[in-house]
Amino acid sequence: MSRRVPAYARILSWAGMALLFIPLLAVAISSVNSDRHGLRWAGATLEWYRKLSHDASILEAAWNTLVVASLSTLVSTLLGTLLAISLHRTPWPRSVRRLFDGAILLPVVTPDILFAVALVGAFGVLRQFSSIWEPGYLTLVVGHATFQISFVVLVVRARLAAIGPEQMEAARDLYASTWQGWRRVLLPQIGSSILAGALLAFTLSLDDFVISFFTSGPGSATLPIAIYASVRRGLSPVIHALSTVLLCATLVAILAASAWSGLENDYRRGARMARWGLAGGALALVAALGTFAFFGWQSRHQNASSAQHKAVTVLMYSEYIDPAMVEEFEKTTGMPLRIEVYEAQEEMVAKLQAGGDALYDVVVASDVIVRQLAGLGLVSPLDRARIPNLANVSPRFLAPPFDPQNKWSTPYLWGTTGILYRGSQDPDSLRWSDLLSEHPRFGRYVLMDEGRTMLALALQALGRSPNSTVPSDLREATALLQKAKARRGCAGFDGSVGGANKVAGSLVDAAVVFNGDALSRMEEDSTLHYGVPLEGSVVWLDNMLITSRAPNRLGAHLFIDWILRADKGAQLANFVRYPTPNQASLPLITPEDLADRSVYPDSLTLRRMEFLSDPGNASRLYDEAWTAVKAH
């Protein structure tokens, strides 16, 4: 052959392959690493695989992912292929053709989030006519198929265009009808491209997060939703284990298929084998997911058969409740408890707006969000008579400024915001200026990637109220953060978990984090400390609220009252390692946690802390200030 790929091209190709496969290798290694955060090697273990086989919610998510991807791929391949054929053979005027081309390119150029919001709007209109458009399987499949169609059309049409008109004309000359010409001449040639389009569509559906999150309802959450929710706490090794299983299944299928087709020498049979090989790869992926899915379906089935009473569905952060409590709740009340997860507060609000307020019963929301949820009519007032255990809550957390009569919310857990650092400094003499001033005391540091909180902390560093709505205050806070960010020591912004991980991994010396995340790192490393700066800080309180159209209001009240029991409050706090707002639970908290001032700060520190409130109409001020901090 005269093609002769030059040496530099061969080197580049191997580099490219390395870029593709090195992260996959790292995923496989993390899945057998016993270190929860994967930052260092802590010995081999199969623990995560064992956990995976028992994790009903991930297995159920795998089942949902498979069902949705298969159905939507089926729909989109059929519609997309027909559309591609239609566009290929129909002599539309140029302007009409351009219009169609534009419509097909639209999903490719539309950002996911915008597309998701557009779909939410469309489903909202359709819900007026029929309740089948409530978020669930149907909306998921329709949403996925909509962006898949374009990709199928693009792939199939490219192949059709390459064939040219001569073949059909030749078939005609041999007295083939139009149908015969398509059936015998063209369709066999585009078969592999239809398969390629379907495969592309399938993988796109497997990977989609944003559209899935906004269009799914309780019980139809997919794997990417579980994965994104888990990122907040540092990606769980269970996810790595699952990814490794999928990876191995696909690799084995590909190797088997290519070994099989390697035995064939005849070109045509080879081409057929190629198609079979691709189909085999897809099949193996389906089989792997299917195996998980079967277990998922089984556990779902068991849930369904035990559900003599109506379930209570709760929407919260992932890993925010002891899994043992889920079973206990069902034993106590006879009502199954379903935990659904979200990644960020704002996404949860959007999900409730997308019709979720009629599907979930209880939602766990942070302080700033409570007024917004009430203002948007997404939550309903509590029936206080059904929550006698509210009396257990410490007076400090009763009637918080964002809900002065506890009309909408009851406390769940609370915590502080401070600095996690490595070094010998006294946690009691910390100041925000240690991070933000011209001469920071920490060499390298990260700030919190959370606009409202970080601006509030900067305001406190300047001696202003963290809830200030005075433009000049915010301008000063913005300038302070911009300068801090521009300094050499600043390693950027990160979420609380990411920041804590960076300190634990010695990537930086200090980070702005929530106390719970600090605590889990301090246990592993005694040179780490956490403190709340003297200028004051932000105290946060997560709350339980009942949605406005909750399907099980009775169960929702039961759940809230149950969580506020002395023993349950302690069980929750001991598992999650955040302080409990439940006074009656305090005697049951582990003594080490109770004595640890980074979990339960002393009253002097608490006096320096303030709740954040919803800035109301000034929220645009905070938004623009944050954009200004981040933009440069």
Partner 1 sequence: MATEVHEGRVTSRASMRLVGALLGFPGLGWLLAFLVLPVGGLAVLAFARRGAYGSVDWTFSLENLRRIAGWGLFGWSSDHLEILLRSGVFAVVTTIACLALALPMAFWICDRGRTARLALMALVTVPSCINLVVRTYAWMLLLGAQSPPVRLARWIGVLGAEQAMYPGWTAVLLGMVSCMLPFAILPLYASAERLDWSIVEAARDLHAGAWRTFRHGVLPQIVPGLVAAVVLTAIPSLGMFVVSDLLGGSRTMLVGNLVQQQFGSASDWPFGAMAGLVLIAGSLVSLWILLRHAGSSSRDTGKAP
User: Residue 405 burial (CB < 10 Å; 0-12/13-18/19+)?
Assistant: exposed
Picking from 478, 495, 442, 374, the residue whose alpha carbon sits closest to that of residue 365 is 374
Q: How far is the CB of 403 from partner 1 (least distance, A)?
A: 14
Residue (235 or 382) nearer to partner 1, CB:
235
Q: How far is the CB of 496 from partner 1 (least distance, A)?
A: 13
Asked whether the beta carbons of 76 and 148 are under 8 A apart, the reply is yes
Q: How far is the CB of 136 from partner 1 (least distance, A)?
A: 16
Residue (244 or 416) nearer to partner 1, CB:
244
Residue (230 or 580) nearer to partner 1, CB:
230
Asked whether the beta carbons of 537 and 419 are under 8 A apart, the reply is no
Joined tokens for residue 102: 């534009």
Sign of the Cα torsion 72, 75, 77, 80 reads negative
d(CA 340, CA 315): 5
Q: How far is the CB of 146 from partner 1 (least distance, A)?
A: 4
Q: How far is the CB of 287 from partner 1 (least distance, A)?
A: 13
User: Residue 25 burial (CB < 10 Å; 0-12/13-18/19+)?
Assistant: exposed
d(CA 490, CA 173): 74
Please, what is the Cα angle at 542 between 537 and 546, to 5 degrees? 150
d(CA 530, CA 518): 7
Residue (247 or 358) nearer to partner 1, CB:
247
Q: How far is the CB of 333 from partner 1 (least distance, A)?
A: 33
Q: How far is the CB of 598 from partner 1 (least distance, A)?
A: 24
d(CA 16, CA 10): 10
Residue (27 or 532) nearer to partner 1, CB:
27
Q: What is the DSSP track for 544-561?
A: EEEETT-TTHHHHHHHHH
Residue (117 or 390) nearer to partner 1, CB:
117
d(CA 62, CA 630): 36
Amino acid in position 344: A
Residue (47 or 596) nearer to partner 1, CB:
47
Q: How far is the CB of 112 from partner 1 (least distance, A)?
A: 7
Question: Position of tokens 């990637």?
Answer: 449
Residue (212 or 552) nearer to partner 1, CB:
212
Residue (257 or 556) nearer to partner 1, CB:
257
Phi-psi map region of 394: left, alpha, beta (phi>0 left; psi -120 to 50 alpha):
beta
Joined tokens for residue 129: 């006519």
Q: How far is the CB of 139 from partner 1 (least distance, A)?
A: 10
Joined tokens for residue 321: 């409740």
Q: What is the DSSP track for 556-610?
A: HHHHHHHHTSHHHHHHHHHHH-S--SBGGGGGGS-HHHHH-TTTS--HHHHHTEE
d(CA 368, CA 363): 14
Q: How far is the CB of 562 from partner 1 (least distance, A)?
A: 30
Question: Position of tokens 């980070």?
Answer: 511
> In 104-143, which positions are buried (b, 16+ CB within 10 angstroms) versus exposed (e)?
beebeeeebeebbbebbeebeebbeeeeebbbbbbbbbbb
Question: Position of tokens 């053709």?
Answer: 97
Residue (83 or 321) nearer to partner 1, CB:
83
Long-range CB contacts for residues 118-122, cutoff 8 Å, separation at least 24: 119/143, 119/146, 119/211, 119/214, 119/215, 120/214, 120/215, 120/350, 120/353, 120/354
What is the three-class DSSP state of 40? coil
Residue (52 or 206) nearer to partner 1, CB:
206
Q: How far is the CB of 1 from partner 1 (least distance, A)?
A: 7
Residue (22 or 304) nearer to partner 1, CB:
22
Q: How far is the CB of 143 from partner 1 (least distance, A)?
A: 8
Joined tokens for residue 597: 């001032």
Question: Position of tokens 């691709």?
Answer: 278
Q: How far is the CB of 302 from partner 1 (least distance, A)?
A: 27
What is each CA distance from 247 to 20, 253, 284, 502, in whole angstroms? 13, 10, 10, 28
Q: How far is the CB of 4 from partner 1 (least distance, A)?
A: 8
Residue (162 or 391) nearer to partner 1, CB:
162
Residue (113 or 586) nearer to partner 1, CB:
113
Q: How far is the CB of 430 from partner 1 (least distance, A)?
A: 23
Residue (335 or 364) nearer to partner 1, CB:
364
